[in-house]
Amino acid sequence: MADLLPPLLRGLWLTLQITAGAAVLAVPAALLAGLGRLSRRPYLSWPAACYVEVFRGTSALVQLFWVYYVLPLLGLRLPALWAGILVLGLHTGAYGAEIVRGAIAGVPRGQAEAAIALNMTPRATLWRVLLPQAVGLMLPPAGNLLIELLKNTALVSLITITDLTFSAQLLRSETFRTVEVFSLVLVMYFVVAQALNGGMRLLERRASRHRGRA
């Protein structure tokens, strides 16, 4: 099957680029939206809630089609690669926002009360007390979300991006070796997912040791 690997590896490289780009966008989007939903100020909480509900309540595929096919009709055209990264990043960030919100809410209330008793400002309480403890709670579900993002990159094959899935479809149509092609693709996705899972487990252990020292 060595003759099948080069085009699939090129597609895998593009898939990894999309995954990394979307993850870089999803992290700040999740953090800002999660903190916004916890805010008592309506001008912060309402936009955050709208963003989360719209992107969680609609299909990622429809979002992808809307950005790539509808926005050009409104005068804004994005390259397919950037459209894929934007949609998958914002879609993943909407789910990540709930992880951030739940993790911060899961920190014992006494921690915030102790910070207030020490005359710490709300901002200092958030960044120096609550968030460092919430990170350990965020990492396990964030790892699952990152793997889900990897699998969702297959959607970009529908907007002409030659990712791993699209490369496999082209190769199958050229060689008619369906079993070999999609078996290799299955293995590639699995290996990358396990690598991501291992990286997140490493971060979890480091966060646990930091929390223990604190």
Higher-confidence position of 55 and 129: 55
The yes-or-no verdict on residue 33 having pLDDT over 90 is yes
Look at residue 30 in the predicted model and tell me its pLDDT: 94
- In the chain, domain spans: 2-213
Under a CB-based contact definition with an 8 Å cutoff, are residues 29 and 89 in contact?
A: yes
Confidence of residue 179 (pLDDT cuts 50, 70, 90): very high
| pTM of the predicted protein model | 0.87
How far is Cα 78 from Cα 123, in angstroms, rounded to an integer? 37
Whether 212 has a pLDDT exceeding 60, the answer reads: no
148: Cβ contacts below 8 Å, ≥ 6 apart: 92
> In the 8-state DSSP scheme, what is residue 69?
I
The model's pLDDT over 98-129, given as tens digits with 9 standing for 90+, comes to 999 888 887 777 777 777 777 777 777 777 77
Give the rounded percent of residues in the chain with a pLDDT score beyond 70.
97
Please state which CATH class domain 2-213 belongs to.
mainly alpha
- Distance, in Å, from the CA atom of 130 to the CA atom of 135, rounded to the nearest integer, reads 9
Phi-psi domain of 176 (left: phi exceeds 0; alpha: psi -120 through 50; beta: other): left
Centre a 10 Å sphere on the Cβ of residue 49 and count the other Cβ atoms it contains. 15
CA angle 205, 152, 156 (to 5 degrees): 140
* 116 or 142: which leads in pLDDT: 142
Residue 206 has pLDDT above 90, yes or no: no
Rounded percentage of the chain residues whose pLDDT exceeds 90: 58
Alpha-carbon distance 60 to 68, whole Å? 12
Neighbours of 132 (CB within 10 A): 14
Average pLDDT (187-207) is 90
Torsion angle of C-alpha atoms 160, 167, 63, 47, degrees rounded to 10: -120
Residue type present at position 202: L
Q: What integer is the mean pLDDT of 118-147?
A: 82
